[in-house]
């Protein structure tokens, strides 16, 4: 191939193929890079946290804690308990929800200052949109805090995202509702978070 032909091919690449590649990258490349980054990040998180034991330094609210290991630029790692949602206490727009303080007090009594084991779930994401680590938190006596919150009526089975305990946690919530445990004893439909009212439109609608 002559130099002239080679230069012509290079020019054709830049003037014809390059715009196509840029369009594809704009449309699909971001997602692909995100998948690759998340996969790499997930592998690192599994090596760093999965089945490891840490001390709970702070309880943010019922479903969020800090453990004693640095996470990037942060001195501690923030854990968002997977599969459970507790009533808000510090949300900037929702404010204080019914049974929020009780849920925070329960998590504080169960976990603060204690050694807990972190379990990650390969069936779902390892981080939420805020960068918090999604995990099951195993208490020193072997109970899983995520499940205990739902079982004892301090939180709701989170129905918006898949995870390995999805069916089990739904069952635990149904049992708590049926037995009127914790928040389910006096909660009204308006006390429930918007996402739960959307997912379960019949829930507490006809409460006696």
List the catalytic residues.
Answer: 80, 88, 132
Output Rg (C-alpha) for the chain, integer angstroms.
23
Which residues, at least 6 apart from 86, have a Cβ–Cβ distance to it below 8 Å?
61, 62, 63, 100, 103, 104, 107, 149, 154, 155, 156
Nearest residue to 79 (alpha-carbon basis) of 128, 139, 149 = 128
Q: How many whole angstroms separate alpha carbon 193 and alpha carbon 86?
A: 9
Q: What angle do CA 131, 144, 103 make, to 5 degrees?
A: 70
Burial class (CB in 10 A: 0-12, 13-18, 19+), 47: exposed
Cα four-point dihedral sign 31, 63, 150, 115: positive
Pairing of strands 77-81, 133-138: parallel
Which tokens go with 72? 């990037």
């Amino acid at each position: 191939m002559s130099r002239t032909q080679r230069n012509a091919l290079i020019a054709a690449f830049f003037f014809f193929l390059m715009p196509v590649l840029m369009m594809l990258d704009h449309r699909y490349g971001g997602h692909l890079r995100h998948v690759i980054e998340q996969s790499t990040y997930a592998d690192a998180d599994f090596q760093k946290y999965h089945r490891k034991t840490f001390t709970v330094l702070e309880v943010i609210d019922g479903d969020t804690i800090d453990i004693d290991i640095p996470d990037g630029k942060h001195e501690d790692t923030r854990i968002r308990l997977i599969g459970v949602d507790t009533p808000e206490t510090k949300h900037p727009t929702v404010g204080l929800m019914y049974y929020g303080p009780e849920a925070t007090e329960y998590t504080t009594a169960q976990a603060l200052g204690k050694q807990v084991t972190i379990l990650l779930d390969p069936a779902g994401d390892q981080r939420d949109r805020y960068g918090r680590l999604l995990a099951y938190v195993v208490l020193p006596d072997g109970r899983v805090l995520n499940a205990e919150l739902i079982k004892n009526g301090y939180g709701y089975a989170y129905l918006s995202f898949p995870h390995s305990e999805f069916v089990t946690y739904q069952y635990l919530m149904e049992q708590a509702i049926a037995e009127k445990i914790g928040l389910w004893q006096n909660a009204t439909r308006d006390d429930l978070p918007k996402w739960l009212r959307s997912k379960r439109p019949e829930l507490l609608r006809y409460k006696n």
